[in-house]
Amino acid sequence: MDPRKRSWSARAARQRWLAILALLAIALVGARPSPARADNIDTLIGQLQSGSDKVRLSAALNLTKAGDPRGIEPLVAALKNDKDKNVRSVAAQGLASLVTPETKPKLRDAAIKQLTDSEANDATPLVQAQAGKALAAINQASSSVSGPAPTGKISGVYVNIGPMSSKTGSAANDTKYRAMMGKVATKTIGKVPNMPTTWWGGGVPSAGALSQKGVLGFYIDGTLNELKITTSGSDATISCKVNMLLADFPNKSIFGFLNGGAKVQGSSSPKDIDMASEDCISAVVEDLIAKKIVPTIKTKAGITP
């Protein structure tokens, strides 16, 4: 996205430039044939967890070939923690093969989350690339699985906003940013007609209550994964990266992962850096929801734009 000038006169005595980076991506989980099982899975898992580099690499390859869903969890752990880039790379490829519509939601969500994190943050470009390809493979297989299934006539949607999370390393800032992300998400969704974030009569609806009213439930949550502050003299550049997920509700089975980033430039004063950090995070959350999540919800609910 091209940089654009925004006025912050209500909050500061001058203007800052904000540029939303084109880092948006959505991964929808889809259908593939159920894999065959193997008899030596436990042995391979043990080798993946404690063998030499060559043994771990061989175990990762063989777990992928075996096609057994028991390999998903150890491959997720290997992608996250293994010190060898080749093992992590093969683990990413294995998850692309093993994650199917029959995979338990908890395992599937863990795999997609780790692949997304590895694509953005792994220290090795090879692993980043393989993680991205794995997410793309899952996306390609999504044609027959598209989130919550309507039951009867659909009269509307309900959007539940999650608690959000932040990983800045500062407890005080994380608390502040989580609350801010939730407010921005609620405000952005609130601008969309017939897309309430509160349930009639209060409380949180059950699956039965949603079905009774013919309403489709969706769940949105997000994580601030990175906030970097770079100063040069009297100037500062603040960059941030946010991941968001989209799931059905109340089951919270994830079918979409998105990521976005932004940069804000301003002065290096502590007050201005604090405001610029909030601007950066707010802009990304708003952009992801307005341009990706809301259109996806409308498509799944059959709402005409």
Predicted local distance difference test score (pLDDT) of residue 143: 36
Tell me whether strands 235-248 and 254-267 are parallel, antiparallel or unpaired.
antiparallel
pLDDT tens figures, 277-287: 999 999 999 99
Q: Cα 303 to the chain's mean position, in Å?
A: 24
Radius of gyration (C-alpha) of the chain in whole angstroms: 21
The single-letter code of the amino acid at 248 is: D
Say if CB 2 and CB 239 are below 8 A apart.
no
Predicted local distance difference test score (pLDDT) of residue 303: 75
pLDDT tens figures, 84-96: 999 999 999 999 8
Residue 191 has pLDDT above 60, yes or no: yes
Q: How far apart are CA 125 and CA 116, in angstroms?
A: 14
Residue 104 has pLDDT above 70, yes or no: yes
Summary mean pLDDT of the chain: 81
Predicted local distance difference test score (pLDDT) of residue 155: 63
The residues spanned by each domain of the chain are: 4-28+147-301, 41-140
Task: Taking residues 204-225, report their average pLDDT.
Answer: 90
Domain 41-140 adopts which CATH fold?
A: Leucine-rich Repeat Variant (1.25.10)
In this prediction, residue 254 has a pLDDT band, given cuts at 50, 70 and 90, of confident
Find the helix or strand (DSSP H, E) in which 121 lies: helix 105-121
Q: What percent of the chain has pLDDT over 70?
A: 80
pLDDT tens figures, 21-51: 333 333 333 333 334 343 589 999 999 998 8
Asked if 4-28+147-301 and 41-140 have one fold, the answer is no
The single-letter code of the amino acid at 31 is: A
Q: What pTM did the predictor assign? A: 0.57
Confirm or reject CATH 3.30.70.520 for domain 4-28+147-301, answering yes or no.
no
Predicted local distance difference test score (pLDDT) of residue 305: 58
